[in-house]
Structure 1
Amino acid sequence: MVQISDIHYDHLPIRIQDAFLDRVIEKVNALKPDIIVITGDFVQREPEPIHQLIDKHLNRLKAKYGIYNILGNHDYKTSHGAELITKAFEKTDMTLLHNQVAYPMGKGKGRIQLVGLGDYSRKRVNFLVDQVKESLEEPNRPRIVLSHNPDSAKDLVEFEIDLQLSGHTHGGQVCFPNGRPILPILDKLMTRILPKRELVRISYPRKVVKNWEWARGHHILEQETRPERPFNLYVNRGLATHPPLRLFCDPEITLILLSPK
């Protein structure tokens, strides 16, 4: 399985270049994945560039059992964004999961269940776990959940989930040489220095994600009631770069090898 995330394609692709995306598509296909998942933020704000993104790039992806996608918070930035992106994917061979469940290899015993959820930042409207709760509670089923914001793991850890795949954080994007994100430190500094009336005007780090310890990579969440079935969370660093730069935090293509226990 291969995961990519956070493309942020735009009319003026200052966050990601077509030439770079061409290399990404080539590298992903060279891995010959069984399944490809894209964990949200296809566009930056306006959804119309999704057509160019699909036609020039995503339609070239190849996976044995299919390509499965979810929306990210940027895909909901306009009132018509989610609907337009959903309709665009309906014209492709890719599957967009919006609080839905898929079985890429069929429903037979031991076959993977793939659950795709909506945007957690507006969870009362978009992140509708109740619509898939019955599937999440199905016993003895290998289960992978796609959820753009890693903070959602707090809500999902109660279920029997083997792996949650997220993005959203860009890995912190600007990090110290050891990979530790600078943004949460900046958050604490601004909280101490700036008055509250100024903080509410700033889209500062805490509004991006709360659990910065999950900014990138693999994490195992504690499950006291089910120690034999750990909840694995993997957070992809994403592909796009918000201006001005990435520092000690390269874009990421994640190759995930799944094996029976």
Structure 2
Amino acid sequence: MPREERNRGALSRIASKALSSVGALTAVGAATAAAAFIETRAFVLHEVTVPVLDPGTLDDGQDAFTVLHISDLHMLAGQRLKQNWVAGLDALEPDLVVNTGDNLGEEQAVPAVLRALGPLLRRPGVFIFGSNDYYAPHPVNPFNYLLGKRNKPSDVDLPWRGMRAAFVEHGWEDATHRRVDFATAGVKLAVGGVDDPHLDRDDYAALGGAPNPEADLAIGLSHSPEPRVLDEFAADGYQLMMSGHTHGGQLCLPGGRAIVTNCGIDHSRVSGLSRWSERMWLHVTNGLGTSKYVPFRTFCRPSATVLRIVERSS
């Protein structure tokens, strides 16, 4: 066989192998993306126990005060599966519902959010808002997220005022820069919250001091768990801090190991329950949604959490 033909044959085989490799990589990438998209619909309910109440606080026969923590719905109008799953959480009969923001994923989503939360709005609840209650999502440079750089919010305002009015009309308390005191299920609550620190909208001084000392449980709320804000709540004696925002890292390594937190807390606190100080617990939920421009999750299923608040050991 002439040398020229042998060279052409070798080049043809190399090209064929290269195309096969590219095809295999493309198939793997497509399968990974499909799995990551499917995971956004694989909702899960977590349960944690928080021993913060003084002995004797709970009524006889009451083993825990239950708090349902939901956050980061990033709801789209057509996400019926998510709406039905969230509405079904009412069957848990929580004593209190806490919503730490980022309910909206687009301008048309307020009816969908109210459809999802409808049964829960009939229960005692408190809420604060996050950046994606105020401003619509928009395409951003994903490398900024990986590098820990903050993306500017979009110029599109979301209809948060109408959503807030519906929450309040149904009886939920807006804890944004307010201290709210009330009792439910035999437990006296003091709840204080700040606006989203991720947008530098927080003003802790507006709370006007420490929580009511007569309360059985003092809960602080902040959409983004920024350390400077957590320290302020802890210093004033709040016992439990509740936040969202992190999505648990969203695109995680196996075992749920977060690559980024999208805020100032360390990776070990990106989701779940942890100690922030000697007196204050921190619960960060990884949330129930994603931006519609990044509809993927890996090793980080969307979730809500039931916190069982129990008495400390004597």
Matched, 1:22 2:99: no
Aligned partner of 2:213 in structure 1 is 139
CA gap 1:231/1:59 in 2 versus in 1, 3 angstroms: same
Aligned partner of 2:235 in structure 1 is 158
State the Cα deviation string for residues 149-190 of structure 1 (Å, max 9, x = none).
111314433220100010000100111112211236xxxxxx
Deviation at 1:62, TM superposition (A): 5.8
User: Which residue, out of 149, 155, 173, partners 1:95?
Assistant: 173
Computed over aligned residues only, the root mean square deviation of the Cα atoms, in angstroms, reads 2.4
Q: 3-state DSSP class of the match of 1:102? A: strand
Deviation at 1:111, TM superposition (A): 1.4
Deviation at 1:88, TM superposition (A): 3.5
Matched, 1:3 2:52: no
Counterparts of 2:111 and 2:86, CA distance in 1: 18
Q: Does 93-102 or 158-167 show the bigger shift?
A: 93-102
Aligned partner of 1:211 in structure 2 is 265
Aligned partner of 2:16 in structure 1 is none
Greater relative contact order (CA < 8 Å, ≥ 6 in sequence) = 2
**Does the 8 A contact of 1:221 with 1:233 survive in 2?**
yes
CA gap 1:147/1:131 in 2 versus in 1, 3 angstroms: same
Q: Which has the larger radius of gyration?
A: 2
State the Cα deviation string for residues 40-61 of structure 1 (Å, max 9, x = none).
0011253x5223321x221222
Structure 2 runs not aligned, ≥5 long: 1-66, 136-155
Counterparts of 2:80 and 2:234, CA distance in 1: 37
Counterparts of 2:299 and 2:76, CA distance in 1: 24
Aligned partner of 1:250 in structure 2 is 301
Equivalent residue letter for 2:235? E
- TM-score normalised to structure 2 length: 0.63
CA gap 1:88/1:138 in 2 versus in 1, 3 angstroms: closer
Aligned partner of 1:51 in structure 2 is 111
More strand, by proportion: 2
Counterparts of 1:176 and 1:102, CA distance in 2: 39
Identity of aligned residues (%): 26
Structure 1 runs not aligned, ≥5 long: 185-207
**Does the 8 A contact of 2:247 with 2:285 survive in 1?**
yes
- TM-score normalised to structure 1 length: 0.74
